[in-house]
Amino acid sequence: MSEALLEVRDLEVYFPIKKGVLKKTTGNVKAVNGLNLSVNKGETLGIVGESGCGKSTLARTILGLEKPTSGDILIEGESILNYSAKQMHRLRRDVQMVFQDPFTSLNPRMKVSEIIAAPLKAYKMTDNIEQRVKELMDLVGLKPEYHDRLPHEFSGGQRQRIGIARAIALKPKLIVCDEPVSALDVSVQAQVINLFEDLQKELDLTYVFIAHDLSVIKHIADKVSVMYLGKMMERSDSESFYNHAQHPYTNALLSAIPLPDPGKEKTRERIVLKGELPSPANPPTGCVFHTRCPIARDYCKENTPQLERKGNEEHEVACFFPIEKGMVEAGSENLLR
């Protein structure tokens, strides 16, 4: 029996492309294209990747909102794919989501108290809903006097607090956070991330935390996975990941994070990826990253790298020519064409 709360096995989620009056299927958008991950109880898995790499599709599939083309999703060792309506109802309580856009994810006509009370009513969680709403508002740092306000009366950060209160209301086992701070100002981002961390400690929560920027998840993630065109490029525990990223794509993402020291920031080299992000409807052969990789060789065009253990036990890289330690710091011109 594994201790994983969530396991994703060989997951593929394809969307058919239909053309013409007969709506014939002419191809597939391979949004998630063979993905494995696991998250233990109480952990935070950070998932990072560019726009369109399949992060939201992965999130929606974990919540049972998208049907996989193949592969499996297990919660506490049990596959959710053939769940009955009753089991699905339970899953909707145990696995919650916090969305990217706090402006559209809340019903504009409902008061804060009604938004937070809605899941409690739907699942008949408590006899004293009013008291529980008060507790939840307090937990996420919303003042009691905001009780009767409508979403438009709040700032982005406060709205996200309402979304978080709604997500924790049913004491879920897992919360999938899909870019929950991307729409917020940088100063507010830090406050909301701190709130996620505090709640995790207090309520023993497990998170899948999606972002498109590695700096956002640096403090919150215990483990980090990097996605590119529906595939996992590198995954590791956070410490090894940030100190010794080995995939050229991860190194490019890391080199884009501004350094706090202005002197170092001025002189540091950036790895600029060449070319457009390929379409997931027509991914490159071999290593999907080879068309933009600064160190790709002919071999990478014909052969597909699998995630393999490199260095410490938890660190895996899908690259035939992973970057040796220190190469980026030593001068990223080595990596540029």
Which residue, among 221, 227, 253, has the nearest Cα to 239 in the 3D structure?
221
Window 203-222: contact mask with Mg ion (x via CB under 5 A) = --------------------
Residues 10-69, interacting with ligand ATP (CB under 6 A): 15, 29, 31, 49, 51-57
Window 276-305: contact mask with ligand ATP (x via CB under 6 A) = ----x-------------------------
CA separation for the pair 115, 138 (Å, rounded): 15
Pairing label, strands 4-19, 24-40: antiparallel
Is residue 57 at the binding interface for Mg ion, with CB under 5 A as the rule?
Answer: no
Determine which residue in the list 9, 41, 93, 212 makes contact with ligand ATP, applying CB under 6 A.
212
Considering only the stretches 6-14, 55-63, 218-226, 228-236, report the one whose residues sit in contact with Mg ion under the rule CB under 5 A: 55-63
Cβ closest to ligand ATP, residue 56 vs residue 236: 56
CA separation for the pair 136, 25 (Å, rounded): 47
Contacts with 92 (C-beta within 8 Å, 6 or more apart), sequence order: 63, 64
Q: How many residues bind Mg ion (CB under 5 A)?
A: 2
Amino acid at 160: Q
Q: What letter does residue 63 receive in the DSSP assignment? A: T
Burial of 109 (0-12, 13-18, 19+ CB in 10 A): exposed
Is residue 71 at the binding interface for ligand ATP, with CB under 6 A as the rule?
Answer: no
Count of alpha carbons within 13 angstroms of residue 101, beta-carbon side: 5
Cβ closest to ligand ATP, residue 70 vs residue 128: 70
CB of 31 to ligand ATP, least distance (A): 3
Considering only the stretches 12-20, 50-58, 242-250, 258-266, report the one whose residues sit in contact with Mg ion under the rule CB under 5 A: 50-58
Window 148-187: contact mask with ligand ATP (x via CB under 6 A) = ----------------------------------------
What is the 3-state secondary structure of 291-307? CCCCCCCHHHHHCCCCC
CA separation for the pair 198, 176 (Å, rounded): 16
Q: How many residues bind ligand ATP (CB under 6 A)?
A: 13
Q: Which residues bind ligand ATP (CB under 6 A)?
A: 15, 29, 31, 49, 51-57, 212, 280
Q: Which residues bind Mg ion (CB under 5 A)?
A: 55-56
